[in-house]
Amino acid sequence: MSERALRGTRLGATSYETDRGIDLAPRRTVEYACPRGHRFEMPFSVEAEIPPVWECRSCGLVAQQVDGALPEEKKNKPARTHWDMLMERRTREELEEVLAERLAVLRSGGIDLHHDPRDNRKSA
């Protein structure tokens, strides 16, 4: 008999459990509105921290909580350039010293500018 009872059903795809007789956790509903005028409600646990913004279900824009506080603006750090990071590691005097050393090596012929050190091919 049990073989016949499951015939024609997709096991795992459909749940046969019901919510009858189960006490769900206390919830509250929060309303959000997006810039395009879409309004929707989201259920949250009473204990949950309510986010001030949520993605709109209809258009995907950022919707704000109705009658809620606006989210705090995050302070953006200015972009760090290569020069900024270099100056964190060395002083200007140290950089001038390194530059003078490299120029001296270049001028003395210690570096072959016409040979690419990455080129390991042997010439025939």
Say how far apart CA 66 and CA 69 lie, in whole Å. Answer: 9
Say how far apart CA 7 and CA 61 lie, in whole Å. Answer: 45
Q: Phi, psi at residue 72, to the nearest 5°?
A: -75, 140
What is the maximal distance between C-alpha atoms in the chain? 95
Flag whether 82 is marked binding: no
Flag whether 59 is marked binding: yes
- 3-class DSSP state for residue 104? helix
Provide the annotated binding site for Zn(2+). 34, 38, 56, 59
Provide the annotated binding site. 34, 38, 56, 59
